[in-house]
Structure 1
Amino acid sequence: MTSTSPPPTIRIGELARLTGASARSLRYYEQQGLIHSTRSGGGQRHYAGPEVARVHLIRRLLDAGLGSRVIAQLLPCVDSGEAGVAEEAFGTMVRERDRLTADITRLVETRDSLNALIEANTRYRLGGPGRPSSCAR
């Protein structure tokens, strides 16, 4: 029977292959304290198998718009079952969700303004009614 779990320790190239993160990103995650490695006698990084799932989580959080500092605040909740840590992480997640919602609202407003400009420009280019006296071309 073959196992699909990663070996007990893996080198940076294998972690990159398994997670889709570049070796450079992995070194950055480590610099930020998001993942951890040990070093071989030759200085090569070795990661524990569970770091694969951790990198996947980090990438999902980054894709959701969270920065590495915020992720660093959330990861202790993943690592610990302590209620205080969970409450702090919950507050961080709510604040980040509210920040993303505000960003989305601003982006929708900006898109709507751009759509209005495109419509005005289209009317101008077609010489139709309501043609503005000046418009971006």
Structure 2
Amino acid sequence: MRIGEVATAAGVSTRALRYYEEQGLLHSVRSPSGQRHYADSAVDRVQWIQALYAAGLGSRAIVGFLPCIETGVPTPAMLDRLATERDRIDAQVRELSATRDRLDAVIDAARGMAEDSSRACSSVAAG
């Protein structure tokens, strides 16, 4: 597949594909005219890369997970690394939830103040 075909099928830009190659995440073969050609499996690989990036992993971590993606067989060390990444994400989710709860409290307090102010204005206008 050519770079544009992979990009379209995977829902990414051609620039992203070139970046993935620079990072060692994706490989292509060059035609005599210099065009990149990818295996049909490149679309699935790019989607995995995208999912791992979306989970907050960096390219260095992703490179370490590629053997599992390629073979479908995780090593114990890889499973440990994945569990560590999951725990990191869980901690971020807890922190974000706590931040959301604090924002909800601020919003509720601000709404309460606005309602009190509105009532005070109404009583002054009526009096």
Indicate whether the TM-score tops 0.5: yes
Q: Measure how far apart 1:51 and its partner are.
A: 1.2
Which residue, out of 29, 42, 45, partners 1:51? 42
1:117 matches 2:106:
yes
Report the 3-state secondary structure (helix = DSSP H, G, I; strand = E; otherwise coil) of the residue aligned with 2:78: helix
Runs of 4+ in 1 over 6 A off after TM superposition: none
The number of residues matched between the two structures is 117
| Equivalent residue number for residue 68 of structure 2 | 77
Q: Give the one of 24, 32, 37 matched to 1:33.
A: 24
Task: Find the residue that maps to 1:94 and give its secondary structure.
Answer: helix
Cα RMSD, aligned residues only? 1.7
Q: Indicate the larger mover: 99-108 or 15-24.
A: 15-24
Which residue does 2:5 correspond to in 1?
A: 14
Q: Who wins on radius of gyration, i.e. which is larger?
A: 2
Partner SS for 1:61 = helix
**Residue ranges of structure 1 left out of the alignment (5+ in a row):** 1-9, 129-137
Identity of aligned residues (%): 47
Distance 1:127 1:50 in 2: 62
Q: What is the CA distance between 1:67 and its match in structure 2?
A: 2.2
Structure 2 residue matching 1:48: 3-state secondary structure: coil
- Structure 2 gap ranges (5+): 118-127
Deviation at 1:80, TM superposition (A): 4.1
More helix by share: 2
Amino acid at match of 1:25: A
Q: Which residue of 2 aligns with 1:87?
A: 76
Show the counterpart of 1:134: none
CA distance in 2, matches of 1:86, 1:78: 11
